[in-house]
Structure 1
Amino acid sequence: MFRTHYKLERYSIGLALAIIVVASIGGLVEIAPLFTIHQTVESAPGMRVYTPLELAGRNIYIREGCYACHSQMIRTLRDEVERYGPYSLAVESQYDHPMLWGSKRTGPDLARVGGKYTDQWQAAHLNNPRDVVPVSIMPAYPFLKSTPLRTDDLPEHLATLKKLGVPYTDEMIKNAVSDAYDQANPDSGDADGVKSRYGEATNIRAFDGNPQSLTEMDALVAYLQILGHLTDAAYQQEEAAGEKK
Structure 2
Amino acid sequence: MFNFHYRLERNAIGFVLAIILVASIGGFIEIAPLFTIDETVEKAPDMRVYTPLEVAGRNIYMREGCYACHSQMIRTLRDEVERYGPYSLAVESQYDHPMLWGSKRTGPDLARVGGKYSDAWMTAHLNNPRDVVPESNMPAFRWLLRNTLKTSDLGEHLATLRTVGVPYTDEMIANASNDALGQANPDSNLAAGVTERYGEKTNISLFDGNPGAVTEMDALVAYLQVLGRLTDAAHKSAQNEVE
Q: TM-score range by the shorter chain?
A: over 0.9
In the other structure, the counterpart of 1:38 is: 38
Separation in 1, partners of 2:10, 2:118? 67
1:142 to partner: Cα distance: 1.2
1:23 to partner: Cα distance: 2.3
In the other structure, the counterpart of 2:89 is: 89
Q: TM-score, normalised by structure 2?
A: 0.96
Q: Give runs of aligned pairs for residues 77-226 of structure 1, distance below 5 A.
A: 77-226=77-226
- CA-to-aligned-CA distance 1:217-244 (integer Å, 9 cap, x gap): 111111111000001100010011111x
DSSP 3-state at the match of 2:180: helix
Separation in 2, partners of 1:127, 1:14? 57
DSSP 3-state at the match of 2:87: coil
1:30 to partner: Cα distance: 1.3
Q: Is the 8 A contact 2:73 2:111 kept in 1?
A: yes
Separation in 2, partners of 1:169, 1:122? 31
Separation in 2, partners of 1:218, 1:131? 19
Separation in 1, partners of 2:217, 2:156? 22
The amino acid of 1:185's aligned partner reads N
Q: Does 1:72 align with 2:72?
A: yes
Q: Is the 8 A contact 2:149 2:216 kept in 1?
A: yes
Separation in 2, partners of 1:143, 1:228? 26
Q: Give runs of aligned pairs for residues 45-64 of structure 1, distance below 5 A.
A: 45-64=45-64
Q: Is the 8 A contact 1:72 1:110 kept in 2?
A: yes
Q: Is the 8 A contact 1:185 1:212 kept in 2?
A: no
Any unmatched runs of 5+ in structure 1?
none
Q: Is the 8 A contact 2:181 2:190 kept in 1?
A: no
Q: Is the 8 A contact 2:113 2:224 kept in 1?
A: yes
In the other structure, the counterpart of 2:29 is: 29
Q: Are the structure 2 counterparts of residues 215 and 22 from structure 1 closer, same or farther at C-alpha, using a change threshold of 3 Å?
A: same
Separation in 1, partners of 2:188, 2:35? 47
Q: Is the 8 A contact 1:53 1:223 kept in 2?
A: yes
Q: Are the structure 2 counterparts of residues 10 and 60 from structure 1 closer, same or farther at C-alpha, using a change threshold of 3 Å?
A: closer
DSSP 3-state at the match of 1:79: helix
The amino acid of 1:95's aligned partner reads Y
- CA-to-aligned-CA distance 1:18-37 (integer Å, 9 cap, x gap): 33322222221111111111
Any unmatched runs of 5+ in structure 2?
none
Aligned residue pairs: how many?
A: 243
Q: Does 1:232 align with 2:228?
A: no
Separation in 2, partners of 1:202, 1:42? 22
Separation in 1, partners of 2:122, 2:116? 10
